Structures are given as structure tokens and as C-alpha cells.
Amino acid sequence: MRQTPEKGSKKLLFAWAFYDWANSVYSLVIASAIFPIYYASLFEAAQTETVMVFGGEIRSTPSLVM
């Protein structure tokens, strides 16, 4: 039979803190590494530098080639 940890126990707090940290890192990686690559490929496929979205304009910045 499984026991549920008591509210406020160190084990439970550590588990939630680790979960929150991992979830934050995942969001950071997606927003800073995956989205720019994805959107750059969309702009390249559309052969355009600007896109209109909800009345606003999004402009693509050229990639740096080294």
C-alpha cells in the first residue's frame, strides 16, 4: 500500500521544486532555441521578410553567416 507524503514534507517540497525547475528549463529551451529556427525556416520557405499578424508586422532578421 502506498503512503502519500504529508503536506509540507521535505521530500514533497523537493519534488515540486525539481518539477518547477525542469518545466522552466523546458520552456526556456523551446522559446530560445527551437522557435527561432522554426520561424526562420517559415520566413525562408515563404521567401519574405515581413508577416502581418493581428494587425502587427513581424520582420525577419537575417541570419549571421560566419
Residue 19: per-residue pLDDT = 92
End-to-end distance of the chain based on CA atoms, in angstroms? 60
Q: What is the mean pLDDT of each run of 10 residues along the chain (66 residues)?
A: 80 92 89 83 81 79 55
Residue 62: per-residue pLDDT = 62
Q: Which three cell numbers stand for residue 12?
A: 514533497
Alpha helical stretches, state H, the chain: 10-29, 35-46
Residue 66: per-residue pLDDT = 46
- DSSP classification of residue 59: E
- Please answer whether residues 60 and 40 qualify as being in contact, where contact means their C-beta atoms are separated by less than 8 angstroms: yes
Residue 63: per-residue pLDDT = 54
Residue 17: per-residue pLDDT = 93
Overall pTM > 0.75? no
